Amino acid sequence: MAKMNELVRIFMERDKMTKQEAVEYVKDMRKRVWEGEDPEEVLYEEGLEPDYVFDLI
């Protein structure tokens, strides 16, 4: 089994999301980045530090 993405783990623990919800949420965040949004801004809006940028891209 692949290592769980750190962002998925955070959303599951912090926001009490299911794994499926968290995975979809991270996919949506990644889509925003690929559509041109600043990854650090996307993380900031979710209350996360820019340290997680590599988990997002």
Element (H, E) at 11: helix 6-14
Domain ranges of the chain: 6-56
Is the CB of residue 10 less than 8 Å from the CB of residue 16?
A: no
pTM of the predicted protein model: 0.85
The string of pLDDT tens digits covering residues 1-57 is 345 689 999 999 999 999 999 999 999 999 999 999 999 999 999 999 999 998 888
Closest CA to 48 of 21, 14, 17, 20: 14
**Do 32 and 18 contact (CB within 8 A), yes or no?**
no
pLDDT at 1: 33
Query: Residue 1 corresponds to which tokens in the numbers above?
Result: 């089994």
Helix or strand holding residue 12 (H, E):
helix 6-14
